[in-house]
């Protein structure tokens, strides 16, 4: 995303420079032509506008089109409507985290578990504004995104030479709008001295030089959300499924949505990989994460400070590898495994058929 923009930005700047020289040349040429043809001044103005306005419109449209970069990452979860549980898919990082975080949250906060049970994921009726399982799934997906972003930013700025004075560390209390609308963020990042599961192990005189990233005890999780971003950055929550990170150069807008679901009846993936013998009660929900990066017009003319934003591309690639089901299946060579499984099944059927024929 950022790399593509910087390449296009270079091309646009070159176009603008060439356009300026062309305009100057055309101006001198037009002036000379007018003197030779003895054209009226008003005619010159009209001809100039006829030539300039379409060119400006084309340039503005080109800039506007390149200002926005979009990517859609598609993930999924497998939901057992009979047990009201998400099925764990080994090795599929997003799915594993959903299961782990839900189990931990429900163990500590019975209210969240009650919401998940009262208005289950396959409920299609109106909830009249009440929190539902879909809302919890969106919140959890957003928390997984933020937690991964936190880890990525720590690693990036820890290994990149930048002016630390131009950075700011945003913690849970620095983003109250997000905190209040995300139950998992509020729960998992709450100080350990305020949570019963960690009271005995919490150290009141911890070394301030050591940052506690995460810890787990008896299924309870604590994770320290630290977002290292450029100063004057704004983190906003325009809706329950959206999150915006705004800076002077650019803004990053994310939105989670459930793009659909399908019933699973005979799925080799569940049978042979996930170990699900009966898939008749399983539904596959497809989740889309839309990431849109919008660049300001001023960013076209700014050649400095891009080091503070070059984490965007690497983060999107890293998160995609964890969130995307297609990338996960490609990583485990599922198409090859599935082909072998089908061939084995057909071989068994042929063997049974031969035995029956011989027995006649």
pLDDT digits (tens, 9 = 90+) for 122-175: 886 667 778 899 999 999 999 999 999 999 999 999 899 999 999 999 999 999
Supply φ then ψ for residue 344, to 5 degrees: -65, -40
Q: pLDDT tens digit string along 65-94?
A: 666 788 999 999 999 999 999 999 999 999
pTM for the whole structure: 0.81
- Check pLDDT > 80 for residue 211: no
Where residue 91 falls (left for φ over 0; alpha for ψ -120 to 50; beta otherwise) is: left
Q: How far apart are the first and last CA of the chain?
A: 67
Residue 200: pLDDT band (50, 70, 90) is confident
The string of DSSP letters for 62-119 reads HHHHHTEEEEEEEEEEEEETTTTEEPP-TT-HHHHHHHHHHHHHHHH-HHHHHHHHHS
DSSP state for residue 304 in the 8-state scheme = S
Q: Where are the domains of the chain?
A: 2-66, 68-189+225-336
Cβ-Cβ contacts under 8 Å for 102 (sequence gap 6 or more): 86, 116, 140
Provide the percentage of residues in the chain whose pLDDT is more than 90: 46
pLDDT of 106 reads: 96
pLDDT of 195 reads: 87
Buried b (16+ CB within 10 A) or exposed e, 22-42: eeeeeeeeeeeeeeeeeeeee
Instruction: Please choose, from the candidates 174, 196, 198, 172, the residue with its C-alpha nearest in 3D space to the C-alpha of residue 186.
Output: 172
313: exposed, middle or buried (Cβ count in 10 Å: 0-12, 13-18, 19+): middle
CB 235 within 8 A of CB 168: no
CB 241 within 8 A of CB 145: no
Residue linked to tokens 């926005």: 68
- Mean pLDDT on 256-261: 87
Residue 244: pLDDT band (50, 70, 90) is very high
Q: pLDDT tens digit string along 280-307?
A: 889 999 999 999 998 887 777 777 788 9
User: What are the tokens at 270?
Assistant: 């569940």
Q: pLDDT tens digit string along 30-52?
A: 555 555 555 555 555 566 666 66
H-type helices in 238-294, by residue range?
A: 268
Residue 6: pLDDT band (50, 70, 90) is low
- Check pLDDT > 70 for residue 311: yes
- Mean pLDDT on 308-322: 93
User: What are the tokens at 335?
Assistant: 């198409």
């Amino acid at each position: 995303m950022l790399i593509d923009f910087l390449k296009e930005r270079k091309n646009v700047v070159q176009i603008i420079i060439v356009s300026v020289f062309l305009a100057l040349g055309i101006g001198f040429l037009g002036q000379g032509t007018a003197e030779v043809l003895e054209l009226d001044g008003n005619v010159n103005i009209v001809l100039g506008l006829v030539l300039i306005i379409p060119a400006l419109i084309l340039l503005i449209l080109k800039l506007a089109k390149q200002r926005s970069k979009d990517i859609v990452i598609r993930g999924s979860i497998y939901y057992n409507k009979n047990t009201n549980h998400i099925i764990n898919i080994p090795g599929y990082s997003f799915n594993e985290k959903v299961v782990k975080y839900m189990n931990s949250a429900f163990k500590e906060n019975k209210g969240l578990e009650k919401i998940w049970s009262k208005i289950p994921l396959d409920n299609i009726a109106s909830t009249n504004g009440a929190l539902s399982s879909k809302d919890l799934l969106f919140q959890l997906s957003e928390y997984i995104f933020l937690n991964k972003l936190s880890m990525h930013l720590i690693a990036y700025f820890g290994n990149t030479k930048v002016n630390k004075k131009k950075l700011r560390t945003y913690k849970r209390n620095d983003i109250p709008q997000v905190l209040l609308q995300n139950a998992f963020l509020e729960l998992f990042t709450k100080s350990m001295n305020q949570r019963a599961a960690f009271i005995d192990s919490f150290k009141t005189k911890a070394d301030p030089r050591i940052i506690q990233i995460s810890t787990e005890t008896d299924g309870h999780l604590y994770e320290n959300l630290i977002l290292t971003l450029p100063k004057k950055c704004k983190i906003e929550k325009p809706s329950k499924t959206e999150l915006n990170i705004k800076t002077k150069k650019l803004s990053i807008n994310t939105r989670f949505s459930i793009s659909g679901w399908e019933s699973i009846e005979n799925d080799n993936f569940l049978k042979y990989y996930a170990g699900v013998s009966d898939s008749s009660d399983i539904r596959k929900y497809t989740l889309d994460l839309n990431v849109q990066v919008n660049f300001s017009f001023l960013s076209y003319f700014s050649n400095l400070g891009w080091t503070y934003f070059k984490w965007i591309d690497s983060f999107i690639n890293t998160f995609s590898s964890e969130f995307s089901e297609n990338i996960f299946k490609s990583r485990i060579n599922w198409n090859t495994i599935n082909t072998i499984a089908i061939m084995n099944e057909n071989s068994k059927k042929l063997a049974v058929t031969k035995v029956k024929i011989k027995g006649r």
